[in-house]
Amino acid sequence: SMRSRSHVRGHGGHGSSFAPEHSRPAPFGFTANARAGGTSREAAFMLMKGNQAYDPSQDYHAEHKWRHLMCKISVKDLVFCHSTVTRTFKHGQHRGEPVQALVKACRRAGTPPRDMPALVAVNKESKTWVVFGNRRLKALKEFQDEVGPKKDVLAKVIVHEWESCPPSLVAKFYDSLTTRNGGANAPYA
Protein backbone atom coordinates (compact mmCIF):
# COMPACT_ATOMS: atom_id res chain seq x y z
CA SER A 1 0.00 0.00 0.00
CA MET A 2 1.07 3.57 -0.63
CA ARG A 3 2.39 5.70 2.19
CA SER A 4 0.54 8.87 2.98
CA ARG A 5 2.05 12.20 2.11
CA SER A 6 2.56 12.85 5.81
CA HIS A 7 5.43 10.37 5.59
CA VAL A 8 7.40 12.96 3.64
CA ARG A 9 6.08 16.19 5.17
CA GLY A 10 8.35 19.12 5.68
CA HIS A 11 9.63 19.33 2.14
CA GLY A 12 8.17 22.66 1.14
CA GLY A 13 11.58 24.26 1.07
CA HIS A 14 11.01 26.94 3.70
CA GLY A 15 14.22 27.94 5.39
CA SER A 16 16.45 25.69 3.32
CA SER A 17 19.26 27.10 1.27
CA PHE A 18 20.07 26.09 -2.24
CA ALA A 19 23.76 25.86 -2.94
CA PRO A 20 24.83 27.12 -6.34
CA GLU A 21 26.08 24.48 -8.72
CA HIS A 22 29.75 25.37 -8.30
CA SER A 23 29.61 24.96 -4.51
CA ARG A 24 27.54 21.75 -4.31
CA PRO A 25 29.34 18.70 -2.98
CA ALA A 26 29.65 16.18 -5.77
CA PRO A 27 29.12 12.42 -5.54
CA PHE A 28 32.22 10.30 -5.13
CA GLY A 29 34.58 13.21 -5.78
CA PHE A 30 33.25 14.04 -9.26
CA THR A 31 32.71 17.64 -10.30
CA ALA A 32 29.21 18.83 -9.42
CA ASN A 33 28.45 19.83 -12.98
CA ALA A 34 29.01 16.69 -15.02
CA ARG A 35 28.53 18.80 -18.13
CA ALA A 36 32.03 20.17 -17.58
CA GLY A 37 33.31 17.39 -19.82
CA GLY A 38 36.35 15.15 -19.65
CA THR A 39 36.73 12.14 -17.43
CA SER A 40 34.22 13.38 -14.85
CA ARG A 41 31.51 13.34 -17.53
CA GLU A 42 32.49 9.85 -18.62
CA ALA A 43 32.51 8.63 -15.01
CA ALA A 44 29.08 10.14 -14.39
CA PHE A 45 27.69 8.42 -17.50
CA MET A 46 29.14 5.11 -16.34
CA LEU A 47 27.49 5.56 -12.93
CA MET A 48 24.16 6.44 -14.57
CA LYS A 49 24.04 3.32 -16.75
CA GLY A 50 20.81 1.47 -16.12
CA ASN A 51 19.06 4.43 -14.50
CA GLN A 52 15.98 3.82 -16.64
CA ALA A 53 15.24 0.95 -14.24
CA TYR A 54 14.24 3.60 -11.66
CA ASP A 55 11.82 5.42 -13.98
CA PRO A 56 8.34 3.95 -14.49
CA SER A 57 7.98 5.87 -17.77
CA GLN A 58 10.99 3.95 -19.13
CA ASP A 59 10.71 0.62 -17.29
CA TYR A 60 7.33 -1.03 -16.86
CA HIS A 61 8.54 -2.92 -13.76
CA ALA A 62 9.89 0.11 -11.86
CA GLU A 63 6.68 0.91 -9.96
CA HIS A 64 6.41 -2.68 -8.77
CA LYS A 65 10.09 -2.92 -7.85
CA TRP A 66 10.04 0.34 -5.86
CA ARG A 67 6.47 0.07 -4.49
CA HIS A 68 7.80 0.08 -0.91
CA LEU A 69 8.98 3.67 -1.55
CA MET A 70 5.75 4.81 -3.24
CA CYS A 71 3.55 7.49 -1.70
CA LYS A 72 1.13 10.21 -2.76
CA ILE A 73 2.41 13.74 -2.35
CA SER A 74 0.88 17.12 -3.11
CA VAL A 75 2.62 18.61 -6.14
CA LYS A 76 2.99 21.76 -4.02
CA ASP A 77 5.60 19.83 -2.01
CA LEU A 78 7.67 18.70 -5.01
CA VAL A 79 10.48 20.66 -6.65
CA PHE A 80 12.09 20.48 -10.09
CA CYS A 81 15.66 19.36 -10.67
CA HIS A 82 15.61 20.90 -14.16
CA SER A 83 15.88 24.62 -14.87
CA THR A 84 13.62 24.20 -17.92
CA VAL A 85 11.52 21.45 -19.49
CA THR A 86 10.76 20.73 -23.12
CA ARG A 87 7.20 20.98 -24.40
CA THR A 88 7.00 17.31 -25.40
CA PHE A 89 7.50 14.08 -23.48
CA LYS A 90 10.81 12.33 -24.03
CA HIS A 91 10.12 8.77 -22.82
CA GLY A 92 7.41 6.17 -22.43
CA GLN A 93 4.07 5.65 -24.11
CA HIS A 94 3.54 9.42 -24.51
CA ARG A 95 6.92 10.10 -26.12
CA GLY A 96 6.65 13.00 -28.54
CA GLU A 97 3.25 14.12 -27.21
CA PRO A 98 2.84 17.64 -25.81
CA VAL A 99 3.04 18.14 -22.04
CA GLN A 100 -0.19 20.15 -22.42
CA ALA A 101 -1.99 16.89 -23.32
CA LEU A 102 -1.45 15.73 -19.72
CA VAL A 103 -2.78 19.05 -18.40
CA LYS A 104 -5.91 18.54 -20.55
CA ALA A 105 -6.30 14.94 -19.32
CA CYS A 106 -6.11 16.17 -15.71
CA ARG A 107 -8.67 18.86 -16.48
CA ARG A 108 -11.09 16.34 -18.05
CA ALA A 109 -10.81 13.86 -15.16
CA GLY A 110 -10.45 16.45 -12.41
CA THR A 111 -7.39 14.55 -11.21
CA PRO A 112 -4.15 13.11 -12.61
CA PRO A 113 -4.75 10.00 -14.74
CA ARG A 114 -4.56 6.78 -12.71
CA ASP A 115 -2.27 5.21 -15.30
CA MET A 116 0.24 8.07 -15.24
CA PRO A 117 3.66 6.66 -14.32
CA ALA A 118 4.91 7.60 -10.87
CA LEU A 119 7.44 10.40 -10.54
CA VAL A 120 10.82 9.51 -9.02
CA ALA A 121 12.22 11.83 -6.38
CA VAL A 122 15.02 12.17 -3.86
CA ASN A 123 14.56 13.65 -0.38
CA LYS A 124 17.54 15.94 0.19
CA GLU A 125 18.01 19.08 2.27
CA SER A 126 14.34 19.26 3.32
CA LYS A 127 13.09 19.14 -0.27
CA THR A 128 11.64 16.39 -2.44
CA TRP A 129 13.49 16.78 -5.75
CA VAL A 130 11.93 15.18 -8.84
CA VAL A 131 14.71 13.38 -10.71
CA PHE A 132 12.55 11.49 -13.24
CA GLY A 133 9.30 13.12 -14.35
CA ASN A 134 10.00 16.87 -14.50
CA ARG A 135 7.69 17.25 -17.53
CA ARG A 136 4.92 15.34 -15.74
CA LEU A 137 5.51 17.56 -12.70
CA LYS A 138 5.25 20.64 -14.93
CA ALA A 139 1.84 19.48 -16.17
CA LEU A 140 0.66 18.63 -12.66
CA LYS A 141 1.77 22.00 -11.28
CA GLU A 142 -0.06 23.77 -14.12
CA PHE A 143 -3.17 21.77 -13.23
CA GLN A 144 -2.63 22.67 -9.54
CA ASP A 145 -2.57 26.36 -10.54
CA GLU A 146 -5.89 25.88 -12.37
CA VAL A 147 -7.70 24.19 -9.47
CA GLY A 148 -6.40 26.66 -6.90
CA PRO A 149 -4.66 26.42 -3.54
CA LYS A 150 -7.57 24.89 -1.60
CA LYS A 151 -7.32 21.57 -3.47
CA ASP A 152 -4.22 19.38 -3.35
CA VAL A 153 -3.27 17.72 -6.62
CA LEU A 154 -1.66 14.47 -5.53
CA ALA A 155 0.99 12.62 -7.51
CA LYS A 156 2.28 9.08 -7.14
CA VAL A 157 5.95 9.42 -6.26
CA ILE A 158 8.70 6.90 -5.63
CA VAL A 159 10.76 8.69 -2.98
CA HIS A 160 14.37 7.70 -2.30
CA GLU A 161 15.98 9.01 0.88
CA TRP A 162 19.32 10.70 0.17
CA GLU A 163 21.19 8.67 2.79
CA SER A 164 20.24 5.36 1.17
CA CYS A 165 20.10 6.52 -2.45
CA PRO A 166 21.79 4.16 -4.95
CA PRO A 167 25.01 5.68 -6.40
CA SER A 168 23.65 5.68 -9.96
CA LEU A 169 20.60 7.69 -8.85
CA VAL A 170 22.88 10.13 -6.98
CA ALA A 171 24.81 10.62 -10.24
CA LYS A 172 21.54 11.14 -12.17
CA PHE A 173 20.38 13.65 -9.52
CA TYR A 174 23.53 15.75 -9.94
CA ASP A 175 23.43 15.46 -13.73
CA SER A 176 19.77 16.63 -13.73
CA LEU A 177 20.21 19.40 -11.17
CA THR A 178 20.29 22.48 -13.38
CA THR A 179 17.75 24.61 -11.50
CA ARG A 180 18.75 28.13 -10.55
CA ASN A 181 15.72 28.83 -8.35
CA GLY A 182 15.78 26.00 -5.83
CA GLY A 183 13.37 23.97 -7.95
CA ALA A 184 10.46 26.40 -7.51
CA ASN A 185 9.60 26.37 -11.22
CA ALA A 186 10.86 25.20 -14.59
CA PRO A 187 9.63 27.19 -17.59
CA TYR A 188 9.33 25.63 -21.02
CA ALA A 189 12.59 25.68 -22.97
Residue 40: predicted pLDDT: 64
pTM of the model: 0.77
For 71, the 3-state DSSP assignment is strand
Distance of alpha carbon 91 from alpha carbon 54, whole angstroms? 13
Are 132 and 62 within 8 A, CB to CB? no
> What is the mean pLDDT of each successive set of 10 residues along the chain, which is 189 residues long?
46 36 41 51 67 89 96 98 96 90 97 96 98 98 98 98 94 94 97
Distance of alpha carbon 29 from alpha carbon 115, whole angstroms? 39
**Domain 25-176 adopts which CATH fold?**
3.90.1530
- Domain locations in the chain? 25-176
Residue 162: predicted pLDDT: 97
